[in-house]
Amino acid sequence: MTTTRPPISHEIVERFDDFRVVLEQQREFRLEQLAELAVASAPSLPITEATDEVRDILRASATAALIEVEAALDRLRAGLYGICEGCAKFIAEERLEVLPMSRYCMSCQHCVETGRSRMPSIFRPQRRRVASMSFSRVAPPP
């Protein structure tokens, strides 16, 4: 089954360079942030459990944001930027302006966040089904 979508508007394509610039700026910011966090983790500085935990949270958040930015830049290079990974429709320009690394349109984002799966099955990640077995019945190795 193939999904057809309307042609992307010329105005949005013209904005791709603007989105690329914003994404590259965000990438640089996140790389600088991670470098600063690495310096802040230097053993010469006093570390408390609370500051260590905050640094770990900031590092994880910055890393996740960097991954999303890199993925958006990859989509730009591949010609897939602005196309929802859930339904293959175009993501609204307004959404891309607010969150240029968006993977999903608003409807699919809502489904992702609420755990609903209204997305067509061809776009949903495939889940492996594992046969359940009772380990109490399995004999231990000799």
Instruction: List, for residues 46-65, the tens digit of each pLDDT value.
Output: 667 777 788 889 999 999 99
What mean pLDDT is predicted for residues 64-77? 95
Query: How sure is the predictor about 124, in pLDDT bands with cuts at 50, 70 and 90?
Result: very low
Residue 93, CA distances (Å) to 30, 48, 77, 99, 115 in order: 24, 44, 18, 10, 25
* CATH code for the part of the protein at 10-121: 1.20.120.910
Res 19: pLDDT: 93
Top pLDDT among 118 and 67 is at 67
- Residue 82 and residue 7 in contact, taking contact as beta carbons nearer than 8 Å: no
Res 136: pLDDT: 36
Residue 128 pLDDT > 50, yes or no? no
Residue 134 pLDDT > 60, yes or no? no
Residue 104 pLDDT > 60, yes or no? yes
Pinpoint the alpha helices (H) of the chain. Answer: 10-40, 49-78, 93-98, 106-114
- Per mean pLDDT, which range of 27-31, 115-119, 125-129 is the poorest? 125-129
Provide the whole-model pTM: 0.68
Q: Which residues pair with 83 in a beta bridge?
A: 90
